[in-house]
């Protein structure tokens, strides 16, 4: 392996960008086309194996709930025989005042959400096809970008919003829309936390979809730990 072999980073999370900035010219940041990351261009995944030729390592750093990208990274690392690491931010943890209901997926949540409940859904656009299970609820589905997709349910509508959100604005939104419950994924990080804090303030239950488990590779939770892994696992062998 060459001392200056590129480190390929797959994913568009804030951690991916921070790691790329730390690595400088060594980093090759590769983004799924669906990722929306300011200041970074998006690329498709079909020809992803090409950048792995001669790479020193593959680091998967997508959204923590992005099953497709985590699976792709595991598959590519095995097929190309490249050292593989998952950089995944720490999950949120429920506090004493939180009312969380752990669920496996949208179908599991739908089985537990009361009929007629007004639910704020923040699962991202890829989950739209899963929302048919919520047909008994009134869903207000937040989307961060405007699109022309048909609303997938009989009752409810899209809510378009632009981050950053604050606890105050999330409390106001939930009160204005008479929200009874929140359905979201355990994304971790500070960006999505205001809705969790707002639900706590209002005593609203949060149906929390569990994170997927990476299918291979070591796991670290910070850029510093990723750099340490590179020093120990990759660069020490050069």
**pLDDT surpassing 70 at residue 2:** no
Domain region containing 30: 7-90+213-237
In a domain, 156, yes or no: yes
| Tokens representing residue 34 in the block | 């669906």
- Look at residue 46 in the predicted model and tell me its pLDDT: 41
Same domain, 172 and 151: yes
pLDDT at 57: 94
pLDDT at 40 over 50: no
Of 120 and 6, the one with more pLDDT: 120
pLDDT score, position 42: 37
Q: Please give the C-alpha separations between residue 59 and each of 21, 34, 69, 86, 175, in angstroms, as whole numbers.
A: 14, 18, 11, 6, 41
pLDDT tens digits, one per residue of 158-175: 999 889 999 999 999 999
Check residue 126 and give its pLDDT.
81
pLDDT over threshold 70, residue 33: no
Query: How many residues belong to the chain?
Result: 238
Q: Do the beta carbons of residue 61 and residue 13 sit within 8 Å?
A: yes
Q: How many Cβ atoms from other residues are within 10 Å of residue 217's Cβ? A: 20
Q: Is the Cβ–Cβ distance between 140 and 170 less than 8 Å?
A: no
Residues 204, 108, single domain; the answer is: yes
Q: Is 137 left (phi over 0), alpha (psi -120 to 50) or beta?
A: beta
- Residue 63 Cα distances to 60, 143, 156, 167, angstroms: 9, 16, 26, 22
Cα–Cα distance for residue pair 229/61, rounded to 1 Å: 14
Query: 62 and 112, same structural domain?
Result: no
Same domain, 115 and 185: yes
Considering the domain architecture, whether residues 204 and 127 belong to the same structural domain is answered as yes
**CATH number of the domain enclosing 228:** 3.40.50
């Amino acid at each position: 392996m060459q001392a200056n072999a590129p480190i390929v980073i797959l994913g568009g999370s804030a951690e991916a960008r921070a790691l790329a900035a730390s690595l400088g010219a060594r980093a090759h940041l590769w983004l799924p086309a669906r990722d929306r990351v300011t200041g970074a261009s998006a690329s498709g995944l079909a020809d992803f194996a090409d950048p792995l030729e001669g790479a020193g390592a593959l680091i998967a750093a997508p959204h923590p709930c992005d099953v497709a990208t985590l699976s792709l990274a595991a598959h590519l690392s095995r097929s190309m025989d490249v050292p593989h690491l998952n950089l995944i931010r720490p999950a949120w943890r429920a506090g004493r005042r939180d009312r969380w209901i752990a669920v496996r997926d949208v179908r599991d949540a739908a089985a537990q959400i009361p009929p007629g409940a007004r639910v704020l859904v923040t699962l991202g656009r890829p989950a739209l096809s899963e929302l048919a299970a919520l047909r008994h609820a009134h869903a207000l589905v937040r989307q961060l970008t405007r699109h022309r997709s048909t609303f997938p349910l009989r009752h409810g509508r899209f809510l378009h919003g632009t981050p950053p959100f604050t606890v105050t604005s999330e409390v106001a939104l939930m009160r204005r829309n008479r929200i009874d419950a929140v359905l979201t994924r355990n994304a971790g990080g500070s960006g999505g936390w205001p809705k969790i804090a707002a639900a706590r303030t209002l005593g609203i239950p949060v149906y929390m979809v569990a994170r997927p488990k990476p299918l291979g590779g070591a796991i670290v939770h910070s850029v510093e730990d990723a750099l340490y892994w590179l020093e120990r696992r990759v660069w020490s062998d050069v």
